[in-house]
Structure 1
Amino acid sequence: MFNVIKESCPYQNWTSVAKKRCPNPGNFHCLKDEFGRIVWLCSEPIWVEKDRCPVFNVVARTMDTTSCLQTRCPPYDYRSNDIDVEYACRFLMEKESSTTPFTTKDTETSKNSTGIIVTSTVLTLVTIIMVVLAGIMFYKRRRQPSKNNGKQEEESLDLMQETTRETARIEEKPACLFDQAKMFLIQKKMVVITGVPGSGKTFLAKSLVNELQKNGYKMKKVLICNLDQLQQGHSGNEEQLQQGHSGNEDQLQRGPGDKVNIYIIDDIFHELQNHDEIKETLTAFNEFLSHAEETYFIITIPSCTWTNNGEVFDPMFYKVEVNLDKRDKNEKLAILQSLQTKYDLSNDQLAYLDGLKNEILLSSFTYIGFPALVLWMFKQTNVEQLEKSLCDPLNTIRDEISSIKNGTIEDKGKFLVLSYMCLNDGKIDVRNVDENLFNFLKNKCAIRWMRNPENPRTDQEEPLDGSGGTLGGIKGTHHPDQEGSPRIRT
């Protein structure tokens, strides 16, 4: 169940080690047991309260927590196998004996006693020497006063305080994921946002741009959503790349002459890519980065893609990664309260939610993010559906999709359009529909075109140009997200 190791926990290559040792890499743990040995095991994560560290109880064969007795203890709740917590809860090899299996109790006790005596003696001698030296220096300073003593002491005090503040600033890591992302973006000019679908990766990316705008930046953002756009960018065809997006973007600048762009590279890595496609995208991405100068980057990557390719992503991005799957209770509670105000929930639903608040905050799914889960729950019409969506959100979503697929002709049309959009970067251009794909989906779903209501006997199919016709039973409306590319809204 657990394995004692004689080395530090593998923080630098955590993902690759987790994949080798555990069927579910998300259950990999490396921590100490109650005897101080470093062990690894595969176990469901538990929540650890702030100012505490995880520990494995060998006797009970279960995960537990213990008080953090060092400095820089975690100031927030976290999961037991989170590796980005404060260093006090990281387990590094300090000396070989710390992980060597016990021999006999008497021998170990003797070693510990000897070590304590030697350490105490050395510390006592060092302390005495330092006190004596400090007394001598103080005596000499009193005997030889200087005109600048007051000024020097004041400057020394200021320098010490400034050094302390600077050290605290460097070591401090914001508990809020938004603040972490903002810090990485400003200091490193890059932040990589990871998370499962619905965790809010794109929302956070856009929020960061808005935050920079509030701080005095004028933004010229470029959104890149696929490999073609990425390759256009690094081949020097930036004008064409920017024309592929909204044209009302100002240049990012703060102060005269300080002109830079900010790129949001959103899900160019996705769940359906195979190894060769990941490699091709990564090559294009590295080429793109090599041509970028004084540029800020916000990159989103799905959790499963990050996990399955950890040996590639970890060395490149682990210093600037923000994992939205690791929100603490306080952040989740803020999301829950914020979204709750946007929906008109019944008293029964509100009472039910209040009773299950702790369970909701502890929920964690590998296929849906917390914000999407909460939104889905709030859209349910009764307590029964709300409870089902919390226990098994994926099945609840499947049932909803099935009801659309098997509903009225208009519902079936919605299902057809949504299916097409899922396979086409979430878009549908009524002037440039891939008819082969659309007809394949139509036949697959056994959906027929709606006939013209003014001539119900005609067999002529409705037009695809969006000019008042119908597409799978849904009337097309122009949505000018991109010049010359009206899209259908469902």
Structure 2
Amino acid sequence: MWNISINECPYDHWGRAARSACSSSERFHCLKDDIGRIGWICAEPIWVEGGRCPVYNSRAEMLHTTPCIGEKCPSSNYRSNDIYTKHSCRVNKYTESDGNNSTNNTHTTEINQSTHTNSSMYIFGGVGVALIFVIIGAVTILLVKRRQLHRQEHYGEERIALMVPSSTKYTQAQHYLETNHFVALIGIEGSGRTHLAKQLAENMKKYATCWTSDSQDFERDTYSSDRKLFILDDVFYVLQNEDEVKTVASKVEKLYQTAQSSYVIVTVPSYIWKRYSDTFSDKESFKSHVDLNTLSEEERNGILTKHLHLNHIRDDENAHGSALFIRKEVKSAIIDSATCMSIGFPSCVAWISKMRDQNDIHEADRFMKLPVSRIRNEVRFLQNSKRNGDKKMFLLLAYTALSGGMLDITQVDKEFLHLLATTLYPNDDHNEFLDDFEPSLHALEERYIKKQATGKYEFQLDVVRKIVFVVAFENNMHVLKENLNKDLLKRHAVERNKFPIALDVEVAKCFVKL
């Protein structure tokens, strides 16, 4: 709840004021709202970008940021309740002081200091008081106008900025990393676990990073005295059995307890988190976790707006000519969906924004109901096409998925690629499939894959990688099984009698029953 104060922020006794105001002193904020009023609130801190200041959005009833106006603006990211900031974001206000000492007209006072300054307040005459109010009013109007102008000029940028980095989930995860040196990112397929881990790592580049899906890797480094960032992505996976889950969870807990100067980010599928909840609940480390399945309306709107903008899909009222556009009612229906059926909202929206048929965009909200089935049908259409160009594109997708999700065209395993070609298309001229990949890769970049700075290719969405794996493997497992990496295979396929019976029907289509 926002509490308006007539006095100043209590910088001189912040700790005492924070403890008296909030159940947790770390939640205490003293700042201005979007119309310039000073006040305080108990809220989870957010990360503020350099060049911006925290502000309370009175309409949205939440913390937000606004452009910094002044000569000493922050140059780097900081938390919204950082009282040690000495820049222009610190809340100061003109106060009445002794008329014979004009050099002290701008000093900060404590929340309860006003009773000690009454004697000096009466020194000013009516004209002086009026003049001060006129000055304050003029400055306030100027700041509001400048803020409005900046918002008008950068409206597009601010809308696109409402992504995960400025979202509640990102803030929660960053807070856990700062306070506990640990965060577990929980979510269903396509909820953005790995994506958020990458974004968190961007702010921690000064630490040596160990990014692994093998528990043996981080176990060897547990007792290292160096400060490191451990990103344990896919050490837990949907087809994992109970014994493996318990073993890995214990290793993660040991890492948390022994490598106390390091930081740990671990991703956990929701299915594993719920099915083995007792395993995680008795571990101190996993108390610091963020659920990526529950996104606020603001976060969903921000994610959708970002992807539509990046893929040049306009709102219907702004569309013109042959430009792709999305109807208001369809956009609203997508935002109102708390999540896709079976896979995460971010992946659903990312796939929708890659649609290039206007009719598909008109029915984009329907995609949210059975996303895995629809992606699977599209991949199968590519596989079963009569066009050699489509067949070659599917062959490259299958090769990438069955090789672990990464494609380096300078080091293609021609023997395995030839095996795939003869297995998938036994009646075709396979030589045509085995060279000149560039045109096919360029076409695939529009929807399926992306090129890294290193020149290697990877899938844009991991859930699509899993679907391609299933489509390529399930009817050819007798040929391909012995040629796949065993660790990769166990994450995608399991004996029919060991297949998770409680797995969602749509999610189950991302895996193979042997």
Question: TM-score, normalization: structure 2?
Answer: 0.48
Equivalent of 1:325, from 279, 289, 293? Answer: 293
Consecutive unaligned residues of structure 1, counting only runs of 5 or more, are 1-70, 73-153, 240-257, 454-460, 463-467
Equivalent of 2:239, from 248, 265, 272? Answer: 272
1:433–1:360 CA distance, 2 compared to 1 (3 A) = same
Check the 8 A contact 1:198/1:372 in 2, yes or no: yes
**Residue 308 of structure 2 corresponds to which residue in structure 1?**
340
The separation in 1 between residues aligned to 2:14 and 2:218, in whole angstroms, is 49
Matches within 5 A, 1:14-25: none
1:434–1:269 CA distance, 2 compared to 1 (3 A) = farther
Matches within 5 A, 1:126-165: 160-164=16-20
**Residue 389 of structure 1 corresponds to which residue in structure 2?**
367
The separation in 1 between residues aligned to 2:309 and 2:173, in whole angstroms, is 26
1:428–1:336 CA distance, 2 compared to 1 (3 A) = closer
The separation in 2 between residues aligned to 1:346 and 1:383, in whole angstroms, is 11
* AA at the equivalent of 1:235: R
Paired residue secondary structure (1:412): helix
Paired residue secondary structure (2:406): coil
* AA at the equivalent of 2:182: M
In the TM superposition, residue 275 of structure 1 has moved relative to its aligned partner by: 3.1
Q: Within the alignment, does 1:375 sit opposite 2:360 as a pair?
A: no
Check the 8 A contact 1:231/1:288 in 2, yes or no: no
Matches within 5 A, 1:306-455: 306-316=273-283, 317-345=285-313, 352-363=326-337, 364-386=339-361, 387=363, 388-407=366-385, 408-428=387-407, 431=411, 433=413, 441-447=420-426, 450=429, 452=431
1:295–1:366 CA distance, 2 compared to 1 (3 A) = farther
The separation in 2 between residues aligned to 1:194 and 1:389, in whole angstroms, is 24
What per-residue deviation string (whole Å, max 9, x for no partner) do you get for residues 384-443 of structure 1?
A: 31214244322321221012102233322332332343344313467484957x666545
Seq. identity, %: 24
Paired residue secondary structure (1:425): coil
Paired residue secondary structure (2:282): helix
**Residue 151 of structure 2 corresponds to which residue in structure 1?**
none
The separation in 2 between residues aligned to 1:421 and 1:315, in whole angstroms, is 39
1:342–1:186 CA distance, 2 compared to 1 (3 A) = same
* AA at the equivalent of 2:245: I
Q: Within the alignment, does 1:221 sit opposite 2:217 as a pair?
A: no
The separation in 1 between residues aligned to 2:11 and 2:422, in whole angstroms, is 81
**Residue 186 of structure 1 corresponds to which residue in structure 2?**
178
Equivalent of 2:203, from 198, 211, 224? Answer: 211
Check the 8 A contact 1:413/1:447 in 2, yes or no: no
* AA at the equivalent of 2:353: F
The separation in 2 between residues aligned to 1:236 and 1:178, in whole angstroms, is 27
* AA at the equivalent of 1:222: C
Q: Within the alignment, does 1:232 sit opposite 2:233 as a pair?
A: no
When structure 1 is superposed on structure 2, of 340-349 and 305-314 the one drifting more is 340-349
The separation in 1 between residues aligned to 2:291 and 2:346, in whole angstroms, is 14
In the TM superposition, residue 360 of structure 1 has moved relative to its aligned partner by: 1.1
1:469–1:162 CA distance, 2 compared to 1 (3 A) = closer
Q: Could you say which structure has the larger radius of gyration? A: 1
The separation in 2 between residues aligned to 1:155 and 1:322, in whole angstroms, is 31
The separation in 1 between residues aligned to 2:457 and 2:427, in whole angstroms, is 18
In the TM superposition, residue 368 of structure 1 has moved relative to its aligned partner by: 1.9
Consecutive unaligned residues of structure 2, counting only runs of 5 or more, are 3-9, 28-42, 46-61, 63-167, 443-450, 460-514
The separation in 2 between residues aligned to 1:173 and 1:155, in whole angstroms, is 19
* AA at the equivalent of 1:378: S
Paired residue secondary structure (1:191): strand
The separation in 1 between residues aligned to 2:219 and 2:421, in whole angstroms, is 38
1:259–1:268 CA distance, 2 compared to 1 (3 A) = closer
Paired residue secondary structure (2:355): coil
In the TM superposition, residue 346 of structure 1 has moved relative to its aligned partner by: 5.7
Check the 8 A contact 1:264/1:297 in 2, yes or no: yes
1:389–1:265 CA distance, 2 compared to 1 (3 A) = same
1:435–1:305 CA distance, 2 compared to 1 (3 A) = farther
The separation in 2 between residues aligned to 1:389 and 1:339, in whole angstroms, is 16
* AA at the equivalent of 2:310: K
Check the 8 A contact 1:450/1:470 in 2, yes or no: no
The separation in 2 between residues aligned to 1:361 and 1:391, in whole angstroms, is 13
The separation in 2 between residues aligned to 1:400 and 1:220, in whole angstroms, is 41
What is the total number of aligned residue pairs between the two structures? 296
Check the 8 A contact 2:194/2:233 in 1, yes or no: yes
1:286–1:439 CA distance, 2 compared to 1 (3 A) = farther
* AA at the equivalent of 2:20: T
The separation in 1 between residues aligned to 2:14 and 2:269, in whole angstroms, is 46
Check the 8 A contact 1:195/1:303 in 2, yes or no: yes
* AA at the equivalent of 2:199: S
The separation in 1 between residues aligned to 2:395 and 2:245, in whole angstroms, is 29
Paired residue secondary structure (1:301): strand
Check the 8 A contact 1:410/1:474 in 2, yes or no: no
The separation in 1 between residues aligned to 2:413 and 2:21, in whole angstroms, is 59
